[in-house]
Chain A
Amino acid sequence: DIQMTQSPSTLSPSVGDRVTITCRASQTINSYLAWYQQKPGKAPKLLIYRASILEGGVPSRFSGSGSGTEFTLTISSLQPDDFATYYCQQCYSWTFGQGTKVEVK
């Protein structure tokens, strides 16, 4: 089974900060990596697929990079609406990372 490890588990940035979340796969997944945003009481929302392709309607401040086993999600300038939990997912056998909570400082 492919294991996904996200870091950090929590972040407490300020509005306007650059935020980076890392996801590591236990074996190569090429670029089959997705990122989701989830807010309390809501279903997850797809942000990025194939490691770096922005889903339609997602603000351009979100970006993804990486291939193989190391991936990053970057928010270039954190906005108030971005406080949420973020998950990576490998799309070979669909396991998720444990999540990164971006919380208000």
Chain B
Amino acid sequence: QVHLVESGGGVVQPWGSLRLSCAASGFTFSSYAMYWVRQAPGRGLEWVAAMSHDGSNKYYTDSVKGRFTISRDNSKDTLYLQMNSLRAEDTAFYYCARDREAYNYDAFDVWGQGTMVTVSS
């Protein structure tokens, strides 16, 4: 059964750092592009970052460029999001998601349950 499980969320002070993890199971992780999507309380979905299946390509939404880093360890079937210089506006539920097609970029067919990040002093 295909499964994604996020962890690492919590409460952090402004300008602090946090690293999120997303553990994958039930599929060949190294064949799929992976993504991070966030949702602030009561707000819509916002794509945050993307990484190709082999880690060679990374993409970020403008508001997190230079602060967030997406990475993956295909030997551990795990996706990461390193978040630095956190701001109040980064407060959100963070989801990891899988591309629906191997070796391609398309829609997101598998989602984790999400992990909450709260930036507050």
Contacts and interface: CB of A to CB of B under 8 A. Distances in A.
Nearest to A56: B109
Interface in A48-80: 49-50, 55
Interface residues of B, number: 21
Contact of B47 (A45, A95, A98): A95
Interface string B9-53: 000000000000000000000000001010000001111001000
- Interface size class on chain A is 20 to 34
Contacts of B107: 34, 46, 49-50, 89, 91
Given A95-B61, A96-B44, A97-B44, 14 more contacts: A1-B62, A36-B108, A43-B95, A44-B111, A45-B111, A46-B100, A46-B108, A50-B106, A55-B100, A87-B44, A89-B45, A89-B47, A91-B107, A99-B45
Interface of B: 35, 37, 44-47, 50, 59, 61-62, 95, 100, 105-109, 111-114
